[in-house]
Every structure is written in C-alpha cells, then in structure tokens.
Structure 1
Amino acid sequence: MYRAIGVLQEKWVLHIVRALLDGEKGFNELARAVGGCNSATLTQRLEHLESLSLIAKRTEDTQGKLARSVYSLTPAGRELQGVINAIDTWAREHLGEEHATPAVPA
C-alpha cells in the first residue's frame, strides 16, 4: 500500500492519469492537458509510469517528420479511475466541493 501511495502522491501523476483516462495523447497534447508541468518533469513522470506498466508508449510515424510519441493507459492504469473517483468523492463529502481533485496542482 505504501508503495502505491508513494507513486500516486508524486506531483503530476494523478493529473497525467486523469488526462489519459480521456484517451491516448501525444506528448504535447498531454502537456497541454496537464498544464503547468515542465517538459523535463513530464518526461520523468511518464518514464516512471511506463516502468510501472501503468502507461504504454508507442511511436507513430509522421511521414518524414520527427516521430511522435503517443501515450495511453494500460489496463492497470485504467483501474486507477476508481481510485481517482474515490478521492474526488471523499474530498467533496469531507472537504467541500472546492477541495475535490483540482485540474492542476498548486
């Protein structure tokens, strides 16, 4: 349990997962969806989540341009939807609506 909490409490992790719950995204699209996370940190978090098999990365051929990395949740990553919903519900019930999971971390 403590390892899971350690992963989920890393800044930006839940925001990355929430963004990918809407479907796969390229790096730049994901950066815009997460908002406020610098490229180096986003890269680090994505690599970490990939090493834990929570997200998958594939490379798209862009017809002669630089290859495009596309990220998606694995089945294990998609299972975090329930965790995120539970956190949101708890926050609304105990901290008020304004304390539910924010779109961008402070």
Structure 2
Amino acid sequence: MVSRSEAVGGRAADASAGRGASIRRCAAGSAIEILQEKWVLHIVHALLGGSRCFNELGRDVGGCNPTTLAHRLARLEGVGVIRKEVLHDDAHAAGLPRCSYELTDAGRELQEVIDAIRVWAVAHLGTSEPNGDPGYFDGDAGRT
C-alpha cells in the first residue's frame, strides 16, 4: 500500500484540505504557518527593539489580549524565534515570576522579512512611514 506522502512525491500532504486537494509542506509554507498567526509579526517587531517583559510587550504590541500574547510567545519560544528568561527579583507583585523575552538569532533574522514587507507596502499600497521613520510600526494598522 502506498502512503499518502509517497503518493505526492514523498512530501507530507494534508488530505483534510478539502475535496481531495493536496497541500505540500515546503520550507516557505512552514514559515508562513507560524508568521501568519495574528500578532506574531507585531511581537517580533517589538522585540527587535530589545528585550521586553510581558506587560511592556503587551503595551508595545497594543490590542493583543494577555491570553493570546502568552500563547503567541509560547509558540515563538517553541520554534526558537524567542527566548524567555525568568527574572528572579522580589519586586514583582503577587509572587508571580517576572519574565523577559528576547529574540534569538533566528528571530533577529526576521528583521529582513519585516523590512521586505515595509518596502512592498510602500511600493504597492501607497503607504508611507510617518516622518520617514522606517523603524515605525503601527500595531493598529488595518484593524477596524
């Protein structure tokens, strides 16, 4: 018996994609699966400015509820885009550990992806950077 992955040239396929369609997993598809999740690129962009604690990151991203932010951070940590450090200090209320998040080398490489998106948006969407600042990122853009 031939397996489903063998039937499509040895690549993994998803038969649940609908009506017999096969979706082949490729490197770009794997990356897009992670990066397309809401808030992920906002989080990465905020961390390009340096490490942040959870609440700082929430403020910098803007509009992302804490539960979703925690899920996205866990996912990004799991795939090696960010690193979480538990800070051992007595200053945090309620005895909960305070954590700091920073990009790994792989996460910092996403700067090129964000820059490419910015260039594309300026060229094709008629957008521009406020005051010509290429480091500006509006987390609220496109939300209604």
Structure showing the higher helix proportion among its residues: 1
Taking only the aligned residue pairs, the percentage that are identical comes to 51
1:7-86 maps to which residues of 2 (within 5 A)? Answer: 7-63=34-90, 65=92, 66=95, 67-86=97-116
- The one-letter code sitting in structure 2 at the alignment partner of 1:29 is E
Deviations 1:71-101 (A, max 9, x none): 0000000000000000010010011116xx6
Higher RCO by CA contacts (8 Å cutoff, separation 6 or greater): 1
TM-score when normalising by structure 1: 0.92
Gaps of 5+ in 1: none
TM-score when normalising by structure 2: 0.68
Q: Distance in 2 between matches of 1:64 and 1:88?
A: 39
User: Over alpha carbons, which structure has the higher Rg?
Assistant: 2
Deviation at 1:64, TM superposition (A): 6.2
| 2:124 maps to 1:94 | yes
Does the 8 Å contact 1:19/1:34 carry over to 2?
yes
Gaps of 5+ in 2: 1-27, 129-136
RMSD of the TM alignment (CA)?
A: 1.9
